Chain A
Amino acid sequence: MPRIWKFGDSVNTDDILPGKFAPFMAGEDVFQTFAFHYIRPEFAAAVAPGDVLIGGRNWGLGSSREYAPQALKKLRIGAIVAPSFARIHYRNLLNLGIPAFEYDLTGLLQDGDEVSLDVNTGVLTYGGGTVQLPPPPEFLREALAEGSILAFFKKYGRFPGESA
């Protein structure tokens, strides 16, 4: 069963993947092993596919570096749930098809709690019950239905919301 990895407020892109372990420096195959290297060194080795990251306010502030969310994608995390996300990072998450939900779970769930999450419906089930997570903003759903914005663009040759 997927488990919760709980973080605090203002987890920045240097926390998620320190700049010096960028793929072009650390190597394309191994850079993800440095995810949360300084703030949670055990993370990369112990995280399991589908695990859910819970953050506090302003998750992902800092750099535009897409390899921060890419590292999490390579580790096959299930979703990130935080009350608010930094703008560039939020866009990068959705572009890569990593489910990001704007919701505060920090008071409800603890590190290591077991959960199941249906990323399509946003229903999260935990020991004490279920939570309905809010869906992404409506204008993004058209793109997410294709898996990512890249996939949408490839299929239609235009952006979501742009007249054909």
Chain B
Amino acid sequence: MKGMTAASPRPQTMAEKILTHRGTQTVYAGDLAVVEVDQVMVVDSIAQSFIERMQRDLNATPKYPERVSIVIDHVAPASTVSVAQAQKEAREYAARTGVRLFDVGRGICHQVLMEEGLARPGWIVLGSDSHSTTYGAVAAFGSGMGATDIALAAASGKTWLKVPDSVKVTFTGELRSGVSAKDVALEMIRRLGADGATYQSIEMHAGDRFTRGERMTLANLCVEAGAKAGLVVPGGEILTAYGYDVPAWVYPDEGATYVQAIEIDLTALNPRMSAPSEVDNVHDVADLREQLRDTPVDQVFIGTCTNGRIEDLHEAANVLRGHRVAPGTRLLVIPASSEVMEQAMADGTLLILQRAGAVLGTPGCGPCMGRHQGVLAPGEVCVSTSNRNFIGRMGDKDARIYLASPAVAAATAVMGRVSLPADVAAL
């Protein structure tokens, strides 16, 4: 850890550091901070509300158009005329005001912003999607807000925040083969509970462990413990592979105050799975496999902002190579972005998935929130790499959703019931 700076007379957490840097005074947990916002992200599903707030309610245009991005990803391509109309208005608004537009097929908002370098260490990034905590993967204070807050941020270039208390999570040991960042994130949610970090920031101390993609998975799920932000202390490839400028001040101070500290031993971790219908209902996959051995799985979905990246597709392809999806089970794979899709195409991953019987979709959010492409019928069971298993989330209220890693999802697709990669290897 770096030492204290002149701006921090008493030790600060990462969240306190970032909100101090982008604000006007040194702040600590509990303070009210008005801060500059480096990037405001708007998704298609709130674009209409956003435009209405900007034009009708505030009579304003974006103060810094280059700091605003609209991403059409939640229902892409459009499924109905009203959706198409809303997306048309979003395109016209972007053209009129000069804000960035990422249109149908470019990919999921969080993935796209990371790929485009629109989230960087020490930045404040607000998104109109709760999983905007994802930007914490690169030590950006990412937080989700509603249409009104997002419009105010676009109009003023600022937002107001109560500086959060922080929970310190320290990872020790190394992951065993077959265990992934998704399992770590689900274990963290299990330990904290679905409201264990409400109003708080989760500060993750991972050393040089984890790729950027894995850090995105960890930060993404922090909101499922209620967190305002999920910050991973920079390390590993964040320092070397992407050309980020990682300022020394962004590191938490020695002696900073945390409301809670937990330690997760990665060596001891087994694959995890969230059972219906709350994300913190986390179990050992081996236990659920026993309980559900007579329960056919109707749909497996690999994708979303949690697990639709190239390393996730590789993880799935490693299990699926040379196998076929079980009769009666559908496997849907949707790459998180056009870049991910291109990589997966170039390195042969898509061919492995296609030959295994996967159905491929347009880069975007896909069926994660039950608006199009692959909604579930009453009584159906789905294993998904996404981040929510709420009642009715992906279709009918009597459908059941289990959340797991790409490897476990892929094994489940081959076996037709909840399974571990080792089950496929033993075939």
Contact = CB atoms under 8 A, between A and B. Distances in A.
B144 A162 contact: no
A39 B148 contact: no
A150 B152 contact: yes
Nearest to A12: B390
Nearest to A67: B49
B237 interface: no
Interface residues of A, number: 48
A153 B34 CA distance: 13
A66 B24 CA distance: 29
Contact of A91 (B79, B149, B375): B149
A22 B145 contact: no
Interface residues of B, number: 53
A126 to B, nearest CB: 27
Nearest to B23: A162
A18 B162 CA distance: 29
B226 A38 contact: no
Contacts of B44: 24
Contacts of B358: none
Interface stretch (A47-55, A81-89, A107-115, A116-124): A81-89
B57 interface: yes
Contacts, number: 142
A33 to B, nearest CB: 16
A150 B146 contact: no
Nearest to A27: B82
A65 B145 CA distance: 8
A158 B145 CA distance: 18
Given A18-B370, A153-B58, 10 more contacts: A24-B82, A39-B397, A62-B388, A85-B198, A86-B226, A87-B198, A88-B130, A95-B148, A154-B57, A159-B160
- Give 10 nearest A-B pairs by CB, closest first: A66-B146, A92-B146, A58-B195, A19-B369, A38-B397, A64-B144, A24-B86, A95-B148, A159-B160, A162-B34
Interface of A: 10, 12, 14-15, 18-20, 22-25, 27, 37-39, 57-58, 61-67, 69-70, 84-88, 91-92, 95-96, 137, 139, 148-150, 153-154, 158-163
Interface of B: 24, 32, 34, 44-49, 53, 57-58, 75, 79-80, 82-83, 86, 127-130, 132, 144-149, 152, 155-156, 158-160, 162, 194-195, 198-199, 226, 228, 278, 369-371, 375, 388, 390-393, 397
11 contacts: A19-B369, A25-B75, A27-B82, A38-B391, A38-B397, A64-B146, A66-B49, A85-B198, A87-B228, A159-B158, A162-B158
